[in-house]
């Protein structure tokens, strides 16, 4: 799972919140292979959205999906 590698020194609560947001984003984008390079891009976007001040996992996922748009 690429997000774990990117979390660094995040607290356990922060890490869990970001993992939830990451999983929800992947599901919404119909991405199942977490080793796919796009998954790392998604993980970085989730972390970026959280760092910008959105901390609710559902809201992070919604914003990430909106920013990526449909993946066809």
24 lies in some domain: yes
**Does a structural domain hold residue 1?**
no
Which tops the pLDDT comparison, 69 or 58? 58
Is 45 inside any structural domain? yes
For residue 34, the enclosing domain spans 12-68
CA distance 39 to 28: 12
Q: Is 18 within a domain?
A: yes
Decide: 32 and 13 in contact? Cβ < 8 Å.
no
Residue 7 lies in a domain: no
**What confidence score (pLDDT) does residue 65 get?**
96
The answer to whether residue 2 is domain-embedded is no
Quote the number of domains for the chain. Answer: 1
In a domain, 6, yes or no: no
Q: Nearest CA to 47 among 35, 61, 31? A: 61
Q: Each residue of 18-66: pLDDT tens digit?
A: 999 999 999 999 998 888 899 999 999 999 999 999 999 999 999 999 9
């Amino acid at each position: 799972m690429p997000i774990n590698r990117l979390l660094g020194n995040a607290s356990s609560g922060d890490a869990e919140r970001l993992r939830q947001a990451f999983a929800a984003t992947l599901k919404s984008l119909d991405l199942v292979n977490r080793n796919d390079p796009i998954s790392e891009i998604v993980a970085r976007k989730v972390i970026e959205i959280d760092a910008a001040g959105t901390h609710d996992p559902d809201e992070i996922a919604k914003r990430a999906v909106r920013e990526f748009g449909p993946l066809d």
